[in-house]
Amino acid sequence: MGLMQPLIEQSKNPSGLLGKVMLRIMNNAHRSLTVWGLSMLKPADKILDVSCGGGNAVSLMAASGRFRKIHGIDFSPDAVSSAAAKKPAAA
């Protein structure tokens, strides 16, 4: 079967060790686009990140101090755990 199909499946619903690797890959691969997208947002009282993945966007929003409340949701319990454990990071 090869490695490609399991990686594709993990991108849908990351879980276990391979899921943690996939979340890290997604956070790193999407970082520049995430930073650009967040720069387009105006300060707000509340933000909802749907499909928060590994939590990179939530972490960057928290670090910016531009948002009063930030919530992230994801279908994958492992993604939510990863995002919840992430500390605010500098943009």
pLDDT tens-digit series, residues 10-61: 888 999 998 998 899 989 999 999 999 999 999 999 999 999 888 999 999 9
- Asked if 77 contacts 12 with a C-beta cutoff of 8 angstroms, the reply is no
Q: Are 86 and 53 in contact (CB under 8 A)?
A: no
Q: Are strands 67-73 and 44-50 parallel, antiparallel or unpaired?
A: parallel
Whether 58 contacts 84, CB under 8 Å: no
Name the pLDDT band for 90 (thresholds 50, 70, 90): low
Q: How would you class 64 by CB atoms within 10 Å of its CB: exposed for 0-12, middle for 13-18, buried for 19 or more?
A: middle
Number of residues written out for the chain: 91
Query: Is the predicted pLDDT of residue 87 greater than 90, yes or no?
Result: no
Q: What is the pTM of this model?
A: 0.80
